[in-house]
Amino acid sequence: MLKVKKINIDKELMKKYKLSEHDLFYIADFNTKEIGYGIIKQGETNKIEIYIYEKYQGNGYGSFLFGKLLKEIDTHLELKVKLDNEKMKRIILKYNGKELSRNGKYVIYVVPKIKKD
């Protein structure tokens, strides 16, 4: 079973992932095995970063993790995604993301706020 749990940020995590004390860090695990992580960088505009380890990609875990993190944000979300990142673009579209603009190597999307469970 896939679970997402919030982890308290310590100095080691702050340094490794370039986090601030206001950011949120989540671990995704499947059957007690860590399969990836997600970060909500909080500030004027919230940003989500997700990463599923390569051997676990292609199973819907990234989409599940993105949805869980999206529920933790109280406003809509703007995301900058590399043009060639097809996996992330599919996830964003699944959550009703709309393309705002293109800027060189990136596409800017807005994703609406979703209701918490």
Rounded Cα gap, residues 33 and 94, in angstroms = 26
Q: What is the pTM of this model?
A: 0.88
Residue 117 has pLDDT above 70, yes or no: no
Please report the pLDDT score of residue 1 as a whole number: 83
Could you tell me the pLDDT band of residue 73, with boundaries at 50, 70 and 90?
confident
Q: Which of 46, 50, 96 is nearest to 72 (CA)?
A: 46
Please report the pLDDT score of residue 74 as a whole number: 80
SS3 4: strand
Report the share of the chain in percent with pLDDT over 90.
Answer: 69
SS3 13: helix
Kindly report the number of other CB atoms within 10 A of residue 80's CB atom.
13
pLDDT in tens, 10-34: 999 999 999 988 899 999 999 999 9
SS3 16: helix
SS3 67: helix
Token pair in block for residue 71: 């529920």
Measured over the CA atoms of residue 47, residue 24, residue 71 and residue 45, the dihedral's sign is: negative
